[in-house]
């Protein structure tokens, strides 16, 4: 069976998440409006009752409470009917002992995944790649991740990204491998000086211990956030 759907431009980081009403295992949901004021992670998987996808759903659920503490909801999606999703949820609970608490979108017509650029060409468009959209409380797409079908995602990285993006909203930049950066450990980066006056301010802040600097353009500090 070939699924033919209208082609859309794939959303980019900084775009508003496309308006759509979706059918899920928890009823109809309007995206992004139903999550106004909260972060959400929308992730797609190739198909229900597949090995890698099963491990991913269990891994996401194991971190469900951690996402909730970040005011962040989870939403799954695949080109399957809602009945398949519901039966798969039952199987996971029965066989693995994990209850899936987040909704799963039924995109059996392929329209939603088509709008988001999630369909896998090598699978003839009948399956979705492992895509991740991180969306902020204003409905703006803040990060996009894509994984091939054979590679399961690192859920701890997705948690880290949500935390880091929330910190970035406070005016900081996040170093590589944060919170275990090889240079500044769990500190965050203060915006670099871009005027002579700001260079002087950075030096004064360093003297008072408010920040630490390797140079005026690379200053950092420790913040209490979580």
Q: Write the DSSP assignment of 44-57 as a string of letters.
A: E-S-SS-HHHHHHH
Residues 142, 165 contacting (CB under 8 angstroms): yes
Q: Is 53 a catalytic residue?
A: yes
What does each C-alpha distance from 156 to 101, 111, 143 come to in angstroms?
A: 18, 30, 15
7 is a domain residue: no
3-state secondary structure of 123: helix
- Model pLDDT, residue 10: 81
The span from the CA of 72 to the CA of 212, in Å, is: 32
Rounded to two decimals, the pTM is 0.91
The answer on 92 and 188 residing in a single domain is no
- Structural domain of 208: 170-226
Tens digit of pLDDT for each residue in 162-214? Answer: 999 999 999 999 999 999 999 999 999 999 999 999 999 999 999 999 999 99
- Model pLDDT, residue 110: 86
Residues 201, 184 contacting (CB under 8 angstroms): no
User: Residue 119 belongs to a domain with what CATH number?
Assistant: 3.40.30.10
Catalytic site residue from 4, 53, 72, 213: 53
Tell me what the mean pLDDT of segment 19-34 comes to: 97
5 is a domain residue: no
Phi and psi angles of residue 142, each rounded to the nearest 5 degrees, phi first: -105, -25
Task: Identify the H or E element spanning 1.
Answer: none
Q: How confident is the model at residue 125 (pLDDT cuts 50, 70, 90)?
A: low
163 is a domain residue: no
The total number of structural domains that make up the chain: 2
135 is a domain residue: yes
Which residues are paired to 140 by β-bridges? 16
């Amino acid at each position: 069976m070939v699924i033919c759907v209208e082609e859309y431009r794939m959303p980019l980081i900084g775009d508003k998440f496309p308006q759509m009403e979706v059918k899920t295992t928890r009823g109809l949901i309007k995206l992004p409006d139903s999550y106004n004021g909260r972060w959400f992670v929308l992730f797609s998987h190739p198909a229900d009752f597949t090995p890698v996808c099963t491990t991913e759903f269990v891994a996401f659920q194991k971190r469900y409470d951690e996402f909730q503490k970040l005011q962040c909801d989870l939403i799954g999606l695949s080109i399957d009917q809602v009945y398949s999703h519901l039966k798969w949820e039952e199987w996971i609970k029965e066989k693995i002992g994990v209850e899936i608490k987040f909704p799963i979108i039924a995109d059996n017509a392929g329209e939603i995944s088509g709008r988001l650029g999630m369909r896998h060409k090598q699978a003839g468009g009948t399956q979705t790649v492992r895509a991740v959209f991180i969306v902020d409380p204003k409905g703006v797409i803040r990060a996009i991740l894509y994984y091939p079908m054979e590679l399961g995602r690192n859920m701890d990285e997705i948690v880290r990204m949500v935390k880091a993006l929330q910190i970035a909203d406070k005016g900081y930049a996040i170093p590589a491998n944060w919170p275990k950066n090889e240079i500044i450990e769990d500190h965050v980066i203060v915006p670099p000086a871009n005027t002579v006056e700001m260079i002087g301010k950075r030096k004064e802040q360093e003297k008072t211990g408010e920040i630490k600097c390797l140079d005026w353009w690379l200053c950092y500090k420790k913040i209490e956030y979580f």
